[in-house]
Structure 1
Amino acid sequence: MSRQTPNDDQVTALARAAAAAPSMHNAQPWRFRYHRHSRTFEIHADFGRGLPHSDPDTRALHLGCGAALLNLRVAAAHEGWNPQTRLLPDPADGALLARTRLTDATEAADGPAESDDSGGLAALHPAIHRRHGSRFPFEERLVPEPVREALVAAARAEGALLMFPASWHLRQVLDLVQEAEARNRTDPGTRTELDQWTRLGTPAEGAAGDGVPEYAFGPRKRGGSAPVRDFESSRTVAGRDATDFERTPQLALLSTGRDRAEDWLRAGQAMERVLLLATLHGVASSFVTQPLEWQDLRWPLRDPLSGTGYTQMILRLGYGPEGPASPRRPVTDVLDIRP
């Protein structure tokens, strides 16, 4: 006998876990639809929450939705379900990014959906609501090789490659970040989107449940090489401190062999799987997206040895504050439960 269908409170909890995923500028560009009769979640892109200047092809939007999908799979596995996932199930509907059916051991897979290593996923569940981006200085302490190897394996499990640039390659990546930051400082479109998705001042009751709040900006960078975006942009935040960041940042490049919507969704899942595992290991993280927002700077980030692959995300990893939680939209705004 198959398991009982989840009740609406349980469905809501799964959607809340999915919505804890990161997204560019915390835009949260997703909507979830749950069908009771088939125990199936759908993840839909909310293109109205995209960033048309910084992300014109919606690559970053797909990464965020992929991260939400990974969280959903982790939460479902934690509850004892075997989530069967199909990416881009309807070629006629570009907003329908994935379907995930909650099955158990007594049920056969419905078509060519992908089965999960539910045990490995379930172990990541405690990190879902602990994972926060940190725009604070990290210690000058290396992430141990066994932890790096585990993070590489986590990305590989989702069909992506994670590599840690060093020496001249790291310097090249940092140079590309610096070039992108210089462009962004004088680019009107970038400033407009930062103004749209940042929230200055102390959050008030009923404040927006999205975007990057002032308390998550972190300090200004006074020294160091850490590639941390300054969300203050051209505005002034009174009382914001300046401090030194790490001199030798630890970066990781996440890439895929191709560069299609399906690859972006896989990369988003790999990114979140890496971040959840890093959180469990006590490793803090932040995103470095600046050169990915310029096509001519993104291309040189590819594997320098093979000259292949498409870099989908740059992660900054290290030991330091986990960072504060960013706001989230009410689940009722992003979840639709149907018969």
Structure 2
Amino acid sequence: MGGGAELPQRGREKRELLLFTPPHSEGEIDDLINEIKEEFPNLDVEFSQVAPDGKSEVPKELYQRATYLTTFNWLPPNAAAAPNLKFIQFLSAGVNHVAKHPIYTDSKIPLLSANGIHGPQIAEWVIMMFLNHSHKFVPLYEQQKQRLWNPATGKNVTDSPGKTVGILGYGSIGRQVARVAKAMGMKVLAYTASPRPTPESRRDDGFIVPGTGDPDGSFPSAWYNGLDKENLHEFLSQKIDLLVLAVPLTKSTTHFLSTPEFHLLNKSNPAGTYIANISRGQVIDQPKLIEALEEKLISGAALDVTDPEPLPKEDPLWEAPNVLVTPHVSGSSTVYAQRATQVLQQNLRRLRDGGRLINEVDREKGY
């Protein structure tokens, strides 16, 4: 053959590696993985299943070669140990659990959350707990277990039209709560960390499960913002019937609600605000929450998160009046893994096409 440059051969292209380290089995997402392989023919996919505590050993040769990492909480020891990573796709909505890891603190590898996949199931949990409370389901169920027929127990209930839901943290979860609450005839108030003065600023540019949420931010009748107590107190003064805590845990939101806030809620709504916390336990000053429940400053609380977790058997929160506690399960769903992989799939496309990655974490803000 004559001289000249040799034509590039497709088979010799440098292959990329997508490394999965989830606690679930790969069988749950087989169809999506096959879609990804077909769409990205130069991409190899490897699974290395880890324990829920993230302490499993992942073969060094895998993360050294990985181009993309999908994980709940396992990370390579540092960025130098995984020199080819273009992004890390987390399977959780928050990343505060790795905020002290060297990859978070000392690297610029894009960290992407799975924000947006939890909206439907968590919104249903919030509304379920609120309806349990307002329709007195718990005492009715206790009555059933005793085989008692006492209609008076279920007579003095309240329904939802005309009530106000205040959503502290108007992200994907809060937006789906708003959609459901609005359908029930409730007024929606939104609270965000930063101002959202324009229609464009109120849009949701993250991952959205089709047919859910509030993509254009049209459901709230009023918007509030800020991480200072003055703005928070203005929001809490709006006679809120259901207060939903959906903020990320940061230094600013730690113990965001404590005794002054519970007194303010009581002053603005003597009938009693019901609090649903699906963010993190530390957002509420838990001992002060117990006092607020005992003093009837609020009508009740539904908590899917506590401080600490697991909640110790001897903790007084278990016995606090009008409280419902679930073990951090509101985000669970049979389609969780599929939805999280769909976020990954969209981010692979966006990186390939030069678009903006979905759900990139702002390391300064912590979310």
Question: Which interval holds the TM-score relative to the shorter structure?
Answer: under 0.3
| Higher Cα radius of gyration | 2
Larger RCO (alpha carbons 8 Å, 6+ apart): 1
Q: TM-score, normalised by structure 1?
A: 0.25
Q: Which has the higher strand share?
A: 1
